[in-house]
Structure 1
Amino acid sequence: MPRVFDSLDDFKAAAGEVLGTSGWMTITQEQVDTFADATHDHQWIHVDPERAATGPFGGTIAHGYLTLALLPAFAEEIYTINGLAFGMNYGANKLRFPNPVPVGAKLRATATLKETSDIAIGTQGVVSFVIEIDGADKPACVAEVVYVMAGA
């Protein structure tokens, strides 16, 4: 169950706090193939299980940007802000993929609200996400994402 903020002001007051952790999501070859089709990135390490079996990771791996693209799904499980007129991605301050994600791996994300600031059209929030791989010693993705939001 996501952490619910009754308003944007309540969300802003949580600056510096861990917002929560999502449930586990299993990465499938179908997801990887669909992402490859959408992005035209059909590198064999992602889409050719036979060839990838003899490659450096012993099987196919998810695209780094697929892992990043799962942030909205993870965030939806972690928190929600009631009373928003809109919310949108503004970019990322930091982004790294320290560990490849094998197809079949389970991922989950932990989000921390680093800071918020008032801007001309509303509020800018910086959320740090760490996407971990079940059983791995290093995360799959570490991202500091910037959002722009406005209350209704």
Structure 2
Amino acid sequence: MQIINNYEEYKSLEGVMVGSSPWHTIDQQQIDRFADATLDHQWIHVDSERASIESPYGSTIAHGYLTLALIPYLWKQIASVQNVNLEINYGIEDLRFCMPVKVNSEVSLQATIRSVNDLRGMVKVVVGARLVVRDESKPAYTGNVVFLYQFK
């Protein structure tokens, strides 16, 4: 795990692939809970029987936004940003979904620090995010995640 204590330590990581998270399995229970939370109960996500027959993937698939919502959880398994008063998920840039994530797939976040800028007390960090799926040649998505930090 990468420990980051301040702006200078973050800045020294620009251009560095800081790591990959452990594998995380996206099971049907997690997909169903996400569907309940977002009120998105499209059959391709929640109806296993129908998806096994009608879906081109042969099973249910995770919501794209579920896979994005995993970024903070997976990121915290790659890096521990310490000595902060405030941390904000600020945005996502240049995101592309490359392939669906089938139920019971294992995913891992690969993170590269793209840029680190001091905005008069707030530190803006752009992290290149690539969600890989075990045994698949293409990632589920690629893009840049933007965090804001206020260090103590």
Do these two structures clear the TM 0.5 threshold for a shared fold by scoring above it? yes
SS in 2 for 1:77: coil
| TM-score (ref. length: structure 1) | 0.96
| TM-score (ref. length: structure 2) | 0.96
Residue pairs, 1:59-70, within 5 angstroms = 59-70=59-70
Q: Deviation digits for residues 118-147 of structure 1, max 9, x if unmatched?
A: 213411110011000000011012120111
Kept in 2: contact 1:75–1:111 (CA 8 A): yes
Q: In structure 1, what is the equivalent of residue 86 of structure 2?
A: 86
Kept in 2: contact 1:116–1:125 (CA 8 A): yes
- Matches of 2:5 and 2:39, distance apart in 1: 40
Q: In structure 1, what is the equivalent of residue 137 of structure 2?
A: 137
**Mapped pair 1:41 → 2:44:** no
Kept in 2: contact 1:20–1:111 (CA 8 A): yes
Alignment gaps of 5+ in structure 2: none
Q: Deviation digits for residues 20-65 of structure 1, max 9, x if unmatched?
A: 1111011110000000000010000000000000111100000000
Amino acid at match of 1:92: I
What is the deviation of 1:7?
2.1
CA RMSD of aligned residues (A): 1.0
- Matches of 2:88 and 2:5, distance apart in 1: 18
Q: In structure 1, what is the equivalent of residue 116 of structure 2?
A: 116
Paired residues in the alignment total 151
Amino acid at match of 1:4: I
Identical pairs, percent? 40
Kept in 2: contact 1:99–1:141 (CA 8 A): yes
Q: In structure 1, what is the equivalent of residue 126 of structure 2?
A: 126
Alignment gaps of 5+ in structure 1: none
Which has the larger displacement, 142-151 or 59-68? 142-151
Which has the larger displacement, 82-91 or 7-16? 7-16
Q: Which runs of 4+ in 1 moved over 4 A?
A: none
What is the deviation of 1:8?
2.9
